[in-house]
A and B are shown apart, each in its own frame.
Chain A
Amino acid sequence: GDSVTQMEGPVTLSEEAFLTINCTYTATGYPSLFWYVQYPGEGLQLLLKATKADDKGSNKGFEATYRKETTSFHLEKGSVQVSDSAVYFCALSDGGSTLGRLYFGRGTQLTVWP
């Protein structure tokens, strides 16, 4: 079945460091891919998405490229800030078969120190 695997955390970085959080997926069809962010005590917010191969999603300095050949959707940011400290979830949607159900990775905790 469809699934998402993302790197385990926690990830701890200094401010202005480069961030990569790896995400790979398994899907039978042509999924859409998403990154969500959860700040402490809050719900999940959509950070970025890509709906087809080679698309790049971007938002707030974060980027991820949909790579069909490597079944990956790694999240990157060139210079992290303390305010980026949160849990990040990679997810895929299997298309129309279950009306847009999302399959989530286990989440990666990011802590950024000043």
Chain B
Amino acid sequence: DTAVSQTPKYLVTQMGNDKSIKCEQNLGHDTMYWYKQDSKKFLKIMFSYNNKELIINETVPNRFSPKSPDKAHLNLHINSLELGDSAVYFCATAEGANYGYTFGSGTRLTVV
């Protein structure tokens, strides 16, 4: 039973399309994150939710909209996809400050 699961694992789509990535966790953690990893492996935080409330919103274009229907889910919707959105997107959860994150296996998004 995967602790943090993301779907889909791969996503290839055309510029201008709208797509969603889903994340579900069964760890009971209150805090969930979305990170973007670029081709040089740099990890950039995008959003953080704590118990369905948005607590971190970095300088992300408003084409990106997170949605947390409940504590176990944090989805990422992206409108009007651009070539520069191509990256690997990771969902993660945190139990608390000293425990670190548990990551999902990532969604590789390719915009063509």
Interface residue? A25 (CB, 8 A):
no
Interface residue? A49 (CB, 8 A):
yes
Contact (Cβ within 8 A) A100 B99? yes
Interface residue? B68 (CB, 8 A):
no
Contacts of A42 in B (CB 8 A): 105-106
Contact (Cβ within 8 A) B31 A99? yes
Q: Which of B13-21, B43-51, B71-79 contacts A (4 or more CB under 8 A)?
A: B43-51
Interface residue? A3 (CB, 8 A):
no
Contacts of B106 in A (CB 8 A): 42-43
**How many residues does chain B have at the interface if contact means C-beta atoms less than 8 Å apart?**
28
B99 to chain A, nearest CB (A): 7
User: With the chains together, A53 CA to B33 CA distance in Å?
Assistant: 27
Contact of B100 among A91, A94, A109 (CB under 8 A): A91
B58-105 contacts to A (CB < 8 Å): 90, 92, 94-105
Closest to A97 in B: B97
Given contacts A43-B106, A49-B100, contact A98 B90 (CB under 8 A): no
User: With the chains together, A93 CA to B100 CA distance in Å?
Assistant: 7
The interface size bin for chain A is 20 to 34
Interface residue? B56 (CB, 8 A):
yes
B86 to chain A, nearest CB (A): 16
Contact (Cβ within 8 A) A46 B100? yes
B32 to chain A, nearest CB (A): 11
Known A-B contacts: A91-B100, A100-B94. Give 17 more (CB < 8 A): A34-B100, A36-B100, A42-B105, A42-B106, A44-B43, A46-B100, A46-B101, A49-B100, A93-B98, A99-B50, A99-B96, A99-B97, A100-B96, A100-B100, A100-B101, A107-B41, A107-B43
Please give the residue numbers on chain B whose beta carbons come within 8 Å of chain A beta carbons, in ascending order. Answer: 4, 30-31, 33, 40-43, 45, 48, 50, 55-56, 90, 92, 94-106
